[in-house]
Amino acid sequence: MPAKQAVKPVRIVLAKVGLDGHDRGVKVVARALRDAGYEVIYTGLRQTPEMVVDAALQEDAQVIGLSIHSGAHMTLFPAVVDELKRRRRPTSWSSAGGSSPTTTSPP
């Protein structure tokens, strides 16, 4: 009977990008992900897109999650994606959550 190989948990970097100072929601999400078995790295408040990508690369993360409540999601999320492309390091998956005005949501 072959031995089972240990499965590495998915590594997720969670970040608050820009000047948004509200972090309760992202901390709740981080805790829920950890409880579900994911490895979560929370970078803290007021991160730049470059700082988020640096953290994701240093931590060898497969996923980047952004929490944005400042209304700057249409600028900051693409900036993170562009920084990943610039470094030729796409992640498996990127996600953003927070406050999204209905005027910027697709129909």
Q: Topology of 11-99 in CATH? A: Rossmann fold (3.40.50)
Residue 69: predicted pLDDT: 82
Q: 71, 91, 60, 61: which is closest to 22 by C-alpha?
A: 71
Residue 35: predicted pLDDT: 97
Entry pTM: 0.81
**pLDDT tens across 51-106, in order?**
999 999 999 999 999 998 888 888 898 999 999 999 987 656 666 666 656 655 55
The dihedral sign for the CA sequence 105, 92, 82, 34: positive
